[in-house]
Amino acid sequence: MSIQPGTEGSVPAGAELGAPAQTPPSPDKGMFGVQGTGDVSGFGRLVRPRPAVFDSPRPYGGYFDDVYDALEEAYPAISEAIEKVVVDRAELTLHVRAEHIVDVCQVMRDDASLRFELCSSVDAVDYLGSDERRFHVAYQLTSMTYRRRVRLEVAVADGVPVPSVTRVYPTADWQEREIYDMFGVVFPGHPNLTRILMPDDWEGHPQRKDYPLGGVPVEYKGAEIPPPDQRRVYQ
Amino acid sequence: MTTSEYASERETTEGRVFTVTGGDWDSVTANIDPLSNEKIVVNMGPQHPSTHGVLRLVLELEGETVTECRPVVGYLHTGIEKNLEYRNWTQGVTFVTRMDYLANMSNETAYCLAVEKLLGIEDQITDRATTIRVLFMELQRIASHLVWLATTGMELGAISMMLYGFREREYILDIFEETSGLRMNNGYIRPGGLAQDLPESAVRKIRDFLKYLPKKLKEYEAMLSGQVIWQQRTQGVAVLDVTGCLSLGITGPVLRSAGLPWDLRKTMPYCGYENYEFDVPTATTGDVWGRYLVRMAEIRESLKIVEQALDRLKPGPIWIADKKIAWPSQLALGLDGLGNSLEHVAKIMGQSMESLIHHFKLVTEGFRVPAGQVYVAVEHPRGELGVHAVSDGGTHPYRVHYREPSFVNLQAIPAMAEGALLADVIAGGASLDPVMGGCDR
């Protein structure tokens, strides 16, 4: 796995600082993150397997089966909408195709046996380098009636829009704006998709993995301490 | 046409623009022709004493009635989430504690619960550590509600309440200082345990505080609840019902003031809250008054939890037994703050090379967290605080996102303000208790 900085056309602000765009990804091979030394210990040949995300088999356990069955009943197009079901660490994640997300949310909110009244959180993760569709938008839904939580996840490539769920969950308004601001994912159907945390004229989307952290060296008692993204990393 | 020294004016293509800096509203309204310029756009903030930090509200007024309200946030954005990706998992605590600086114990606990869930070690956290976490989260809730009472009192004209609220909060900050060495931004709760044990002197201080605060609460209620001005400024103001709250994602005291007893400590317990006896106070009015009643009652419920937590506090370890995660050194509070205890330094420097290597590896590199993602939520003084933590299997977080109640709750300001009076915008905004450090992260 390697990170390719600046694959986008425009250079993000701060990119000319020469800082590495990200702390190097956790190494797949060797230990201590050390490369290019005359390693005679044999540690350098250790290979760390990268876990893949698998479809979880039925039964999922707990209330997860009930949720899936209820969704299947209420939303017949489920086989097209849901790409993958993952149960991990006692949490259910439904990977939903982008074009179905609004309909799935609507059913999740309104169906009597689902009733996910509250959309707790909407945020995004940038899986640059490990997934073709690098941006994963995650919706954490909460059912107050049944006291359940489910995560919906939508994966899109750079430049591919995700329909806005503000029509179903108005609370997603500012959170989608934050995702647009930080990652550059566009949400068609959003009433006012503008930057929210960064200034309006900011260039680039700061929480993308190919956007540098930036920072300046600090002098302390005569010694110069480099900015956090240029320090030595042990990993 | 007059130009006051407080309200200078200039002509622009958009119309006349006033820059207002003091108690000079009259000089603005005197210059407005009521027939041709009936609409005023007021830019309130970002530096306005009533906005709890740097929140900017763009208000469109007709007379004194707000017809449109647009909140602008982001002035305090510090990039904490991005910064976390460049530090190891333990260092993250130092960052997240600075998000919502009035509820840092909740921030730290939520983060640690997420890391521990990723590691799959929730069951191995010691009872003592969990009890102290609960104890401190509840003390923090009291402190946060006291600041709310103080600032809201100030904004609605009860200046003495501000002094009293901050004074009482100082007792709680003293307790935190006694334990962690810091009043705020403690960095006290760590993945796998706590930075330091709770000293006996802090327990005594908490016991004293438990006796002290209820008397004071009565005084404040005697001062405010019967006050006609306080009632008129709060009752029927900034009403938001359950439907409105749920669609806007509002949680915490604001939701409970509308009548829905949704409190994660009861409905989705964590940290063993199911073993404590306490009630979830609600009101039915859904207005600022209801939120005041709910918060006052919550302070009392938190006092109950603190007392129970103190009673069940048994001596024992505060760190997880797994030495590959637990912090290697025994920290001690010295004259110059928190640091490695002298015994530990003597051991790693003088006796055991392996201990030194272990210490070095764990402190510089940190522990690895298996790949995956979790979402953990706790009941923060302002509502649901959610942490979405993603690991790629390394020693650094791949991504950590905070679902901040201040951020989400602020979306309710237009719903509360539009159609109401300008003065009620202040009361409504204050009743949401936004903390901009948390909102903007």
Judge: A234–B364 Cβ closer than 8 Å, yes or no: yes
Looking at the partner chain, which of A22, A147, A207 has a beta carbon nearest the beta carbon of B81? A207
The first and second tokens of residue A178, run together, are 């934050």
The first and second tokens of residue A187, run together, are 């949400």
How high is the pLDDT of residue A124? 92
Among residues B96, B140, B153, which one has the least CA distance to residue B382?
A: B140
Looking at the partner chain, which of B86, B260, B395 has a beta carbon nearest the beta carbon of A229? B86
Å between B399 CA and nearest CA of chain A? 7
Å between B393 CA and nearest CA of chain A? 7
Please indicate whether residue B50 or residue B432 has the higher confidence score (pLDDT): B432
How high is the pLDDT of residue B134? 93
User: What domains, with CATH codes, occur in chain B?
Assistant: 7-72 (no CATH), 80-321+368-440 (1.10.645.10), 331-365 (no CATH)
With beta carbons less than 8 A apart as the criterion, state whether B124 and B298 touch.
no
B412, pLDDT greater than 60 = yes
Beta strands at A91-96 and A223-225: parallel, antiparallel or unpaired: unpaired
The first and second tokens of residue B98, run together, are 């600075």
Judge: A197–B388 Cβ closer than 8 Å, yes or no: no
What is the distance between the alpha carbons of residues B414 and A194, in angstroms, rounded to a whole number? Answer: 17
With beta carbons less than 8 A apart as the criterion, state whether A6 and A195 touch.
no
Å between B394 CA and nearest CA of chain A? 5
Q: What's the distance, CA A3 to chain centroid?
A: 16
Contacts of A235 in chain B (CB under 8 A): 365-366, 394-396
Judge: B373–A138 Cβ closer than 8 Å, yes or no: yes
How high is the pLDDT of residue B6? 59
Question: Per-residue pLDDT averaged across B31-40, rounded?
Answer: 67
Judge: A174–B410 Cβ closer than 8 Å, yes or no: yes
Among chain B residues, the shortest Cα distance to A227 is held by: B86
CB pairs under 8 A between A and B: 129
Which pLDDT band holds residue B34 (cuts at 50, 70, 90)? low
What is the distance between the alpha carbons of residues B294 and B134, in angstroms, rounded to a whole number? Answer: 20
Å between B307 CA and nearest CA of chain A? 28
Question: Residue B203 burial by CB count (10 A; 0-12/13-18/19+): exposed, middle or buried?
Answer: middle
- Using CB atoms and an 8 Å cut-off, which of residues 29-58 of chain A contact chain B? 32, 48, 50-51
Looking at the partner chain, which of A23, A48, A144 has a beta carbon nearest the beta carbon of B396? A23
A64 reaches B (C-beta below 8 A): no
B375, pLDDT greater than 50 = yes
Percent of chain B with pLDDT over 90: 36
- Residue ranges per domain, chain A? 52-202
Looking at the partner chain, which of B365, B392, B411 has a beta carbon nearest the beta carbon of A171? B411
Superfamily of domain A52-202: NADH:ubiquinone oxidoreductase Nqo5 subunit (3.30.460.80)
Judge: B74–A175 Cβ closer than 8 Å, yes or no: no
A228 reaches B (C-beta below 8 A): yes
A234 reaches B (C-beta below 8 A): yes
Lowest mean pLDDT, pick from B88-92, B179-183, B325-329? B325-329
Å between A51 CA and nearest CA of chain B? 7
Which pLDDT band holds residue B317 (cuts at 50, 70, 90)? confident
Please indicate whether residue B149 or residue B359 has the higher confidence score (pLDDT): B149
What is the distance between the alpha carbons of residues B129 and B109, in angstroms, rounded to a whole number? Answer: 11
Question: Per-residue pLDDT averaged across B383-408, rounded?
Answer: 90
Å between A80 CA and nearest CA of chain B? 24
Judge: B364–A175 Cβ closer than 8 Å, yes or no: no
How high is the pLDDT of residue B345? 83
Judge: A26–B407 Cβ closer than 8 Å, yes or no: no
Cβ neighbours around B270 below 10 Å, total: 20
How high is the pLDDT of residue B133? 93
A1 reaches B (C-beta below 8 A): no
Question: Per-residue pLDDT averaged across B192-207, rounded?
Answer: 89
Å between B82 CA and nearest CA of chain A? 6
Beta strands at A91-96 and A148-156: parallel, antiparallel or unpaired: parallel
Contacts of A171 in chain B (CB under 8 A): 247-250, 408, 411
pLDDT in tens, B222-272: 888 888 888 888 888 888 889 889 889 999 999 999 999 999 999 999 988
How high is the pLDDT of residue A46? 67
What is the distance between the alpha carbons of residues B408 and A211, in angstroms, rounded to a whole number? Answer: 26
Pick out chain A residues at pLDDT < 70: 1-53, 232-235
B316, pLDDT greater than 50 = yes
Structure ipTM: 0.83
What is the distance between the alpha carbons of residues A13 and A116, in angstroms, rounded to a whole number? Answer: 39
With beta carbons less than 8 A apart as the criterion, state whether B182 and B159 touch.
no
Here the contacts of B7-11 (C-beta below 8 Å, separation 24 or greater) are none
